[in-house]
């Protein structure tokens, strides 16, 4: 038995090493292909005016472009002039994931002349179910290269630019300056603030899309420059719940791509059709989509630009210099998505130590019933939501979602600042755990080891540790650590 386990472990190690080497080779190949493409890329179609006979084209678009874009050009709001604007437009998408992929697909299909994509991540298998530009063969490849490979097959006319890096404050203004419009397709508050501030400082219209589970939001900001409040509100991200299983990304991104096209094709004073036309300054609004609400779409009017705005007021504290120098700390301003360690070391236990201290069978899914709370030598509480708990769970664990824990009222605070345990505990606490005589240790586990710390703090605030007589702590690193330290076959999602 021992030799078989050693063989399995050796094979797993060889597979892991091979996968790392394969990913490195794919990245090297992407760099080489990109260099080759740059050396062979012809001039954009808009610069090709002469015909084969040495004269000039009678029509502003190529015949193939008329055939390709004809169905949208017959829409009165687009027309020929709108199509020419799309061809001359330069759009940057920040993010090549669940939001960036479909947005890029729509914009490339519509004929936007230059499309830049910035993302420092590489393609993973877990991306493929929703990030529609990536393919299994491109696992390990930069996302921007994988996406552009697909887009070139969809439409060879645009110029595609890959920025193989995460957006950083020092480079953001220089990158943004080469584009006419920015699409924010990211998923963390710090980056969203950086994008918003940089866009307003450079006078770039910004289409901001976000999606989480079955809900999405969309805003068009700084369009035209100076029309509206641009600094968007940050979107709080649950530290342990995966925020990238975007089931409704397509619905939000379709609207985002449409808003981008509207911004690009909007009439201006220079348009030959109507010299009196001006770009409209629509009231600022937040568009909200919820798949399970009725109605599914709502629009909320936003306040106008604040006179005290940190970016665009007369006494702005955020400038291009503060961004590029790093003195504007977006991670500090928004708060880290990872709260780090909220508990003391003695309040935490490693996954391996827990497994050795309390050996138990593993359950691949929720196929074993929960044991009654408070019975046995310890209690294990899983604070993931029900959907994750049903994917995989420890045998005999009790599922109490973190949302239920956080929704309970805090204990009363005395004038001296002390708190006391409430006389009536929240309904999510099983009666057996609330017993004043119970000293059964309580262990809390979650996906990554973040929500579990918050839950432990809440339980102690409610007095479940009985003044230190009972251990209440979490499994450090959650199920990610459990997979690494205890059970390599634990589902990774």
Tell me which residues are annotated as active site.
240, 446
Query: What radius of gyration, in Å, describes the C-alpha atoms of the chain?
Result: 27
**Spatial CA neighbour of 322 closest among 310, 337, 313:** 310
DSSP strand pairing (297-301 vs 285-290):
antiparallel
Give the tokens for residue 162.
């890959």
342 neighbors 457 (Cβ within 8 angstroms): yes
Neighbours of 115 (CB within 10 A): 24
**Spatial CA neighbour of 108 closest among 130, 93, 126:** 93
Span between the terminal Cα atoms of the chain, in Å: 30
Q: How many helices (H) and strands (E) does the chain have?
A: 16, 15
439 neighbors 470 (Cβ within 8 angstroms): yes
User: Cis peptide leading into 160, omega within 30 of 0?
Assistant: no
- CA distances to 141, 347, 394 from 352, rounded to whole Å, are 33, 15, 14
317 neighbors 429 (Cβ within 8 angstroms): no
Gap between the Cα atoms of 45 and 174, Å rounded: 25
Output the DSSP codes for 140-169.
TSBHHHHHHHHHHHH-SSSEEEEE-S---T
Based on the number of CB atoms within 10 Å of its own CB, is 191 exposed (0-12), middle (13-18) or buried (19 or more)? buried
Query: How large is the angle between the packed helices 143-154 and 2-40, nearest 10 degrees?
Result: 50
Based on the number of CB atoms within 10 Å of its own CB, is 426 exposed (0-12), middle (13-18) or buried (19 or more)? middle
């Amino acid at each position: 038995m021992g030799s078989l386990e050693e063989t399995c472990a050796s094979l797993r190690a060889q597979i892991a090493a091979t996968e790392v080497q394969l990913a490195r080779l794919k990245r090297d190949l992407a760099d080489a292909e990109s260099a080759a493409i740059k050396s062979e890329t012809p001039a954009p179609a808009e610069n090709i005016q002469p015909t084969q006979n040495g004269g000039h084209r009678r029509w502003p678009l190529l015949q193939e472009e008329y055939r390709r874009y004809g169905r949208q050009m017959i829409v009165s709001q687009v027309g020929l002039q709108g199509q020419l604007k799309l061809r001359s437009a330069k759009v940057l998408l920040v993010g090549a994931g669940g939001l960036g992929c479909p947005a890029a697909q729509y914009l490339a299909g519509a004929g936007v002349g230059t499309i830049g994509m910035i993302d420092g991540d590489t393609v993973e298998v877990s991306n493929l179910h929703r990030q529609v530009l990536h393919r299994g063969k491109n696992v390990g490849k930069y996302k921007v290269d994988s996406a552009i490979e697909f887009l070139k097959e969809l439409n060879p006319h645009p110029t595609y630019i890959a920025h193989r890096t995460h957006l950083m404050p020092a480079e953001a203004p220089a990158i943004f300056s080469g584009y006419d419009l920015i699409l924010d397709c990211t998923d963390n508050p710090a980056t969203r603030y950086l994008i918003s501030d940089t866009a307003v400082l450079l006078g770039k219209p910004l289409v901001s899309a976000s999606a989480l589970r079955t809900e999405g939001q969309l805003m068009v900001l700084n369009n035209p420059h100076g029309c509206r409040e641009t600094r968007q509100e940050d979107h709080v991200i649950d530290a342990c719940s995966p925020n990238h299983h975007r089931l409704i990304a397509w619905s939000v991104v379709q609207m985002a791509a449409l808003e981008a096209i509207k911004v690009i094709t909007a009439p201006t004073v220079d348009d030959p059709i109507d010299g009196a036309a001006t770009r409209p300054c629509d009231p600022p609004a937040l568009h909200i989509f919820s798949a399970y609400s009725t109605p599914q779409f709502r629009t909320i009017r936003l306040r106008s630009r604040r006179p005290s705005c940190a970016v665009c007021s007369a006494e702005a504290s955020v400038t291009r210099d503060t961004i590029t120098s790093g003195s504007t700390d977006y991670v500090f301003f928004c708060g880290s998505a990872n709260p780090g360690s909220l508990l003391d070391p003695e309040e935490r236990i490693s996954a391996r130590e827990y497994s050795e201290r309390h050996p138990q069978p593993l359950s691949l899914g929720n196929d074993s019933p929960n044991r009654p709370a408070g019975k046995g030598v310890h209690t294990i509480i899983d604070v993931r939501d029900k959907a994750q708990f049903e994917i995989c769970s420890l045998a005999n664990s009790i599922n109490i979602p973190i949302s239920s824990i956080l929704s309970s009222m805090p204990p009363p605070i005395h004038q001296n600042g002390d708190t006391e345990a409430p006389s009536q505990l929240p309904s999510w606490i099983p009666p057996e755990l609330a017993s004043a005589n119970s000293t059964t240790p309580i262990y809390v586990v979650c996906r990554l080891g973040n929500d579990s710390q918050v839950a432990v703090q809440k339980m102690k605030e409610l007095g479940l540790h009985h003044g230190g007589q009972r251990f209440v702590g979490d499994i450090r690193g959650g199920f990610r650590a459990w997979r690494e330290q205890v059970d390599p076959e634990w589902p990774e999602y």
